[in-house]
Chains A and B, each alone.
Chain A
């Protein structure tokens, strides 16, 4: 598969639990993004990794949210002590970065439900 994959596709958790969401970008893509999309809403930017540069974390809504990108490939978004307002679809995207046109390739998303 050549596309961006995300796992799990659905996650139901209880308020207060921690969750980890995974993103496998397209091989060779240097840029990786995380977004959040609530029902009927637009995209909310969370974090942006570009190569070896320090990530742009300006969109993370609170210190309960963090993300890592290991070895320039797979990324994990962690939400600690989940709250009901964290319920949303979390989308990951990758792109070839500054060498290309900036086109982002999106994964199918992880639907997170916090009870």
Chain B
């Protein structure tokens, strides 16, 4: 079945850029998502990219998609302590059921 993998932990200094990587197996994925989960809360969509795009930028967030390698990344510029959270990569085919990765815990040190 479909699989989404991401590294479990990332630690950066405040003001640096953070890059969170994700790989997926379903070549028919049409939407790829990044969700953020803050402590004690549910997940919230940060951004998504359609599979026919290779980049999407939204303020401090840049999403890169390499469809050939099935690799997705999320770059957070000028990372702040408030960005500390768990970031989940997910994919879906035609906006149906999504498959989530296990989440990357981002720790931002002052």
Contacts and interface: CB of A to CB of B under 8 A. Distances in A.
Interface of A: 4, 31, 33, 35, 41-43, 45, 48, 50, 56, 91, 93, 95, 97-109
Of B35, B42, B98, B99, chain A has the most CB atoms within 10 Å of the CB of B42
Contacts of A107: 42
Contacts of A43: 43, 88, 100, 102-103
B95 A101 contact: yes
Contacts of B41: 108-109
Contact of A100 (B95, B98, B102): B95
A109 B88 CA distance: 17
B53 to A, nearest CB: 13
A104 B103 contact: no
B48 to A, nearest CB: 6
Interface in B32-76: 33, 35, 40-45, 48
A41 B42 CA distance: 13
Given A98-B95, A101-B31, A101-B95, A93 B100 contact: no
Nearest to A59: B97
Nearest to A41: B102
A98 B96 contact: yes
Given A50-B96, A98-B94, A102-B98, A91 B45 contact: no
B102 A103 contact: no
Contact of B45 (A31, A33, A103): A103
A102 B103 CA distance: 19
